[in-house]
Amino acid sequence: MIPAAEPNVGKLPLPEIVSERRRWFAIHTASNNEKKVRQHLQAKEIETFLPVYGVTKRWKNRTTVRVELPLFAGYVFARFDPSERLRIVEVPMVYSIVGSRGKASAIADDEIDSLRNAVATRQVHPFPYVKVGNRVRIRSGPLTGLEGTVVRSGESLSVVLTVEMIQKSVAVHVEADELEPCPNA
């Protein structure tokens, strides 16, 4: 009897050296094409992260629909080895890999992990990039240890998390008793 074929037959495992060099990068995309770019990258077996938030839209015919929009318009995050740069920039609707002086700049894994955790556990929405305000650390709850800028909108508090590389921010709703001042603020 012939043993059943394994699903990964014909695919060689990636050497540890290559997988260790994979880093997160911000990919600048054409407007309103973030989901298409993500699909193209996933088809190339490149790990992606496209944070989204839900919003209710009302069409002219009075139909109400809940849609998911990219949290950072014009950006998709991808994890790849910098030597694979060409595979990324050849994807349709990709403008560039964010960086400076022609060199892609990696985003820290913990910054992406914090963003994933915030999107998964809290209500988030886009927020203008901010430089000023009080720096705080979240001291309890699922986002413990995360640092950001506190803002007040109406009667509720939010902590603004910033991805410095792309100069974009997102506001996460929190309770005042979850916050403490940052020691270096």
What is the average pLDDT across 22-46? 96
pLDDT above 90 covers what percent of the chain?
A: 47
Predicted confidence at residue 22, as pLDDT, reads 92
What are the backbone angles phi and psi of residue 111, rounded to the nearest 5°?
-70, -40
Under a CB-based contact definition with an 8 Å cutoff, are residues 180 and 139 in contact?
yes
Homologous superfamily (CATH) for 15-107 = NusG, N-terminal domain (3.30.70.940)
Q: Which of 96, 112, 92, 80 is nearest to 33 (CA)?
A: 92
* Domain assignments of the chain as residue spans, ordered by start: 15-107, 110-185
* Position 3 pLDDT exceeds 50: no
Cβ burial, residue 58 (10 Å; 0-12/13-18/19+): exposed
Q: What is the structure's pLDDT at 12? A: 46
Per the listing, tokens 């820290």 go with 108
| pLDDT for res 46 | 96
Could you give the 3-state DSSP secondary structure of residue 19? helix
Query: What are the structure tokens assigned to 79, written together?
Result: 């994890």
- Is CATH 2.30.30.30 the right assignment for the domain spanning 110-185? yes
Beta partners for residue 113, in sequence order: none
Mean pLDDT of the chain: 84
Question: Based on C-alpha coordinates, what's the Rg of the chain?
Answer: 20
Within 10 A of 51 (CB to CB), how many other CB atoms are there? Answer: 22
Same fold, 15-107 and 110-185: no
DSSP 72-139: STTEEEEEE-GGGHHHHHTSTTEEEE-EETTEE--B-HHHHHHHHHHHHHS-EEEE-----SEEEEE-
User: Sorting pLDDT into bands at 50, 70 and 90, what band is 129?
Assistant: low
- Residues 64-77 have a mean pLDDT of 94
Tell me what pLDDT residue 177 has.
76
Whether 87 contacts 17, CB under 8 Å: no
pLDDT, greater one: 34 or 140: 34
CB proximity list for 2: less than 8 A, separation 6 or greater: none
pLDDT tens, position by position, 16-28: 444 568 999 999 9
Q: Is residue 116 pLDDT above 90, yes or no?
A: yes
